[in-house]
Structure 1
């Protein structure tokens, strides 16, 4: 008992100074849809936001300097499985130093393209930009392709301007040539009242061909409606010379009362090379804030694949589903804590 009391006296001040926060998202929906001959019905995890649990903290080091850290694990709320098998903190894991200059951090982190969100469906699972960028193999996306291992990152915000930069060493874990698989990116975003604009550039290196991407986006809130849109272009997709193309999307958000929003978005993806691929995607959704932490939602997405294209959409297709459409209807709830 004496030993426990002494241990408590010693550890209590250290725990208070560490300022650790436990946080997370629990997001699940009932979904119904299909892709060609494949039908789907079941629980869909992370429709508005990926389900996760995380720990973050800061320590004041004096003279305006602070230590920061974040470790965050994603999971499938439908079955409890890891977001990415074998990764204990698959979403983020970093430590760094922050101050008036911004924050410099080391670890597994978001590339600037993760924050490229000029999207009326807010980067949700049912967003056309999310679907097309993820299925199209892009790293400017609100998905796992924009989480880079072994990276050094910088974030700084100054009078409405936010700058992000990252350099990742050995970004592609499966690359057979680890001496030429680094990645880097840079973005600038400016927000002032109803206006938001930004641009991003990212490169993933490879011995055969570098994959290069860039994008620009903007949004303007008129009060009765908010308009958003973005354009992305790429070259060397999948490290294939001549594999180039683009992705564009537009949308709007219409407030309904004090707590609701209607979201509409449409996007197209085109790839030009020997394996031409293309798809169109549109979404209509409604979100309703039941409280500051809980949001109910309903949404429908339809993704149309061009002839010879397979795999674009939220429901997996079969080998014989070339050119077939994918659609998904969801009704769900997101709670943040």
Structure 2
């Protein structure tokens, strides 16, 4: 076991002891997920593997809460990713790489500081994607949530109180590059609406990928790029027999639609789109004791390369208890004109245009 994992366990034990001694609470939580995955269609050929975090990334976390009175509370979250298949941290030389933040909940909203998920990612995983960005072939395959689209460090995040079903998320991630306050920064927000059977969000994300001279290295020299922006409308509605999903988005500018494996296929070079549109249709349907989920997602690349992609995915989750489920899933990509997208799962970028999985997930 890596030193970071040992440290995480030690911190968990110490903080749990504090929670028992005080009125404030510290909760240890986690997800343990492991599955067999078969990938094919990439330049490297077929790959069968036992992997961790297919339906949901395996993790170990701590949540702290202290009631300060008057409707106010201090909060924190520390969350570390891990690999069930090897026992390692999922990112080397890190401890709480997934989330690490502290803040306050008040009658005027929630304000937190640290490493956090983006409003864009929350909208995709909570509202847009019937697969909840899990299994194989989830919406992260084509929607712009790679890298800093998922979470950012040095982030200030504010959520307003909900009023008549409406609420607002605002986030600002500092680039922290000397001499250039804008370089590397990212900001975004989402307008939420929830009413009965309807969930909807309108999301905006703005990313500066510049590298200031003070932060330049041999591997990443100083650079100036245009701003990458994402606008995404996500909705789902409970029709009774099933829940339907619809999303439409626009990605514009440098790093607005990155993909994780740029050399996955031989032939025409894949180029990340700087002008694209995304359309998602999906469903969740109770079937037997479990849930059947599916989506169809189109990326329309409007650059001169015209590297479009189409994704079709289906998954089924069968609960063994309130905390444990078995799952099976399949995803297929149709890349066009040399597009380089790969079928992802919750934790990995994938290696080809087809993937299937069978696994088990436990929450605690």
Tell me the TM-score normalised to structure 1 length.
Answer: 0.84
C-alpha distance in structure 2 between counterparts of 1:198 and 1:239, whole Å: 19
The 5-angstrom pairing of residues 116-127 of structure 1 reads 116=123, 117-127=127-137
Specify which of 174, 181, 188 is matched with residue 169 of structure 1.
174
- 254, 259, 263: which is aligned to 2:285? 254
Aligned with residue 283 of structure 1, among 277, 293, 313: 313
2:103 maps to 1:96: yes
Greater shift, 261-270 or 116-125, is seen at 116-125
CA RMSD of aligned residues (A): 2.6
Match for residue 245 of structure 1 among 268, 272, 276: 276
Query: For 1:312-331, what aligned pairs fall within 5 Å after superposition?
Result: 312-314=342-344, 316-317=350-351, 326-331=353-358
1:130 aligns with 2:130: no
1:180 correspondence with 2:211: no
Provide Cα deviations, 1:37-83, integer angstroms capped at 9, x if missing partner: 41111113222211100001111112221110001011222222322
The answer (yes or no) to whether the contact 2:284–2:294 under 8 Å persists in 1 is: yes
User: Equivalents in 2 of 1:100, 1:316: separation in Å?
Assistant: 43
1:297 to 1:125, Cα distance in 2 relative to 1, 3 A:
closer
Q: What's the counterpart of residue 203 of structure 2? A: 200
Conserved? CA contact 2:292–2:315, under 8 Å: yes
Change (3 A) 1:27 1:214: same
* Structure 2: segments with no counterpart, 5+ residues: 1-16, 211-223, 258-271
CA contact (8 A) 2:135 2:329 kept: no
Structure 1: 5+ residue runs without aligned partners? 1-10, 318-324
DSSP-derived class of the 1:148 partner: strand
1:298 corresponds to: 328
**C-alpha distance in 1 between matches for 2:134 and 2:19:** 41
- State the partner residue of 2:251: 234
Helix, strand or coil for the counterpart of 1:277? coil
Instruction: Give the counterpart of 1:42 among 43, 46, 49.
Output: 49
CA change 1:13–1:250 in 2 (3 A) is: closer
CA separation in 2, counterparts of 1:30 and 1:301? 14
Conservation of the 8 A alpha-carbon contact between 2:137 and 2:343? no
Q: Is 1:152 the counterpart of 2:156 in the alignment?
A: yes
Q: Post-superposition, which runs of at least 4 consecutive aligned residues in structure 1 deviate over 6 A?
A: 11-14, 175-178, 239-242
Q: Is the Cα–Cα contact under 8 Å of residues 25 and 49 in structure 1 kept in the other structure?
A: yes
The alignment status of 1:225 with 2:242, answered yes or no, reads: yes
Superposed CA deviations along residues 286-313 of structure 1, whole A, max 9, x for unmatched, are 1112111111111111112112222422
- CA distance change for structure 1 residues 12 and 73 in 2, over 3 Å: closer, same or farther? closer
Shift of 1:216: 0.2
1:62-81 map, 5 Å: 62-81=69-88
Question: Are the equivalent residues in 2 in contact too, given 1:300–1:328 (CA < 8 A)?
Answer: yes
Q: 1:242 to 1:50 in 2, by over 3 A?
A: closer
SS in 1 for 2:128: coil
Instruction: Report the more deviating stretch, 92-101 or 268-277.
Output: 268-277
